[in-house]
Amino acid sequence: MEVLVTYDVATDTTEGRRRLRRVAKVCEGYGQRVQKSVFECTVNEGELTMLKHRLQAEIAEKEDSLRIYRLREPRDTYLEVIGRDIQFDLHDPLVF
């Protein structure tokens, strides 16, 4: 399944900036960054559970916001890019 992970981490403190980097690092392990605080991820149910658990451990729930959207297939029915398209197909091999 494909999910969209978005987050808003309060960065007005040093700890907030650290949380922001840690949240991004977790997301990088599951998908690709498409905007500064937005990642597209392809995961199975177990990976989604682990992703949620890892992200919840990194954020401060009273200060930060995390949203995970399940996207419907096929991608071309829900995705419209206007401007620079920096994505690659997560289903294609990365090494040729």
Tens-place pLDDT, residues 12-65 = 999 999 999 999 999 999 999 989 999 999 999 999 999 999 999 999 999 999
d(CA 90, CA 63): 32
> Nearest CA to 11 among 3, 21, 2?
21
Determine the pLDDT at residue 60.
95
CATH architecture assigned to 2-69? 2-Layer Sandwich (3.30)
The structural domains of the chain, with segments of one domain joined by +, span 2-69
Determine the pLDDT at residue 77.
72
